[in-house]
Amino acid sequence: MTETIIRIPSQELEELIAQKLLAAGLKEAFAAEMAEHLTYADRRGIHSHGAVRVEYYAERIAKGGLTIDPVCSFEQTGPSCGVYHGDNTVGHVVAKRGMEEAITLAKETGIGIVGIKKMGHSGALSYYVDMAARQDMVAMSFCQSDPMVVPFGGAENYFGTNPIAFAAPTNNDRPIVFDMATTVQAWGKVLDARSKNNAIPNDWAVDGLGNPTTDPYAVKGLLPIAGPKGYGLMMMVDILSGALLGLPIGKHVSSMYEDMTAKRDLGQLHIVINPAHFTEIEAFKAQLSQMIEELHQIKPRHGFEEVLYPGELSERKAIENEEKGIPIAKQVYDYLVSDAVHHDQYENANAFAEK
């Protein structure tokens, strides 16, 4: 039976999330920023990185798996690059700080590359590149994650879902923004399917025998997107956001669930390019808007009503959800309005949140 979905105003959702994070022990400023990020994800339809994650974060915060009073710093290591030291605090906060530094460098020198070293899970990568695009920058972001993907040709998990995000400005207030896991689907999508008691497509994941499965509870390994091509991309992401920062890689990346008291030492890399250092900025933005219009004019094939640009569906969902309210699973809402901080749901679980 499919879980009941309810809609609530974005401001209410943001406030409920912030209150729960405060109850878990997070400081007010960090709770507010984290809640804003998670609501952004739900607003754009990225429910795998929205409110469904709050109980996990609350459990980790309450058990000391994130630094509550961090000593963070930005170390500029070259004219256009640097490292933001996150002290294993909330990933959403320090990844945002790192993007702010990268944007500053790009405005000054034409490019800004900032690695965020030692942080917690940082949520939807589109949030960070969107920040840059709204300041007329082109941006990419890469982030490693714990091993839950069967490499092409293999029968054991090694890499994480290792996402990539991209954004670029247009000549209106809607930049091109998209992000993607280097798997056919992100683990958070499987988690979202579990929360709604929905089946998953049979090309997302495999069971313990390596066979395709539609049961989100039977998942033991995710699959790379486009076979060897996705496999190569996830290796690239691990190198850029792990090895490049002197952090653990591949199967050595810390578990999301195994020990909720332990810091995770995760890494992320932002690359920001200032188009004004390469071309005339308004002409660049107009050209991207032209690209969008030309894509819209392409005749759709059978079964499709129109051709959308990458990320446009999320943009449309954001507009709709802001008007109608953000849809979330009722069981998630019930948790948010309850007095419970968490239910010891994730401690000692494997990469797929199973005990």
The residues that are catalytic are 121
Token pair recorded at residue 218: 């039977």
Token pair recorded at residue 2: 């499919």
- The DSSP code sequence of 1-34 is -PPPEEEE-HHHHHHHHHHHHHHHT--HHHHHHH
d(CA 328, CA 195): 10
Residues ≥6 apart with Cβ < 8 Å to 55? 20, 335, 342, 343, 345, 346
Handedness of CA 136, 137, 138, 142 (dihedral sign): negative
d(CA 145, CA 266): 7
d(CA 256, CA 238): 16
User: Which value, to the nearest 10 degrees, does the dihedral of the CA atoms of residues 59, 64, 66, 70 take?
Assistant: 140
For 200, phi then psi, to 5°, come to: -115, 155
Token pair recorded at residue 17: 């999330």
Helix or strand run (H / E) with residue 61 = helix 54-62
Return the closest-CA partner of residue 117 out of 267, 13, 251: 267
d(CA 272, CA 141): 9
DSSP 183: B
d(CA 244, CA 238): 9
Handedness of CA 106, 111, 115, 119 (dihedral sign): positive
